[in-house]
């Protein structure tokens, strides 16, 4: 018997979606520079939104680590600050963009939409 309020395939006890921005599976070059680090870590995102991204990395950063991130949207450099919000050892980190202007957010959303118009 199915619960009419639950979509087919959805779990009745699944947590509510916390994200404010739709994610796009997209490999985008990104540089992360944790506070106090002398040089950046160069990676690629596995998914990204106007609110943050996920990066795969073998040596993960601790939750709460503050960092600067740099992404290239075509020929435009986008530099924002963020914080590590999830850490999966030997797999990757979730990054939330904490200091991003409305203009930067709109620019990132537009760039992602131009890459995958059905996902933004």
Q: Which pLDDT score, from 0 to 100, does residue 19 have?
A: 57
pLDDT at residue 10, as a whole number: 43
Looking at domain 24-115, its CATH class is: mainly beta
Tokens of 113: 């939409």
**Residue 17's pLDDT is what?**
52
Quote the Cα angle for 56-116-118, to 5°: 120
pLDDT score at 13: 55
pLDDT over 50 (residue 78): yes
Confidence of residue 118 (pLDDT cuts 50, 70, 90): low
Query: What mean pLDDT, rounded, does the chain reach?
Result: 85
More confident call, 80 vs 74: 80
Give Cβ neighbours of residue 33 (< 8 Å, ≥ 6 apart): 39, 40, 41, 67, 68, 69, 70
Of 23, 26, 44, which is closest to residue 92 (Cα–Cα)?
A: 44
**Separation between Cα atoms, residue 61 and residue 70, nearest integer Å:** 17
Per-residue pLDDT of 24-66, as tens digits, reads: 899 999 999 999 999 999 999 999 999 999 999 989 999 999 9
What residues does each domain of the chain span?
A: 24-115
């Amino acid at each position: 018997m199915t619960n009419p309020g639950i979509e087919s395939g959805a779990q009745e006890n699944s947590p509510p979606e916390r994200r404010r921005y739709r994610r796009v599976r997209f490999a985008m070059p990104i540089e992360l520079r944790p506070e106090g680090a002398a040089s950046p870590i160069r990676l690629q995102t596995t998914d990204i939104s106007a609110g943050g991204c996920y990066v795969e990395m073998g040596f993960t950063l601790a939750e709460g680590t503050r960092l600067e991130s740099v992404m290239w949207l075509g020929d435009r450099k986008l530099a924002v600050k963020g914080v590590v919000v999830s850490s999966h050892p030997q797999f990757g980190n979730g990054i939330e963009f904490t200091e991003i202007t409305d203009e930067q957010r709109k620019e990132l959303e537009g760039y992602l939409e131009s890459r995958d118009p059905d996902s933004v």
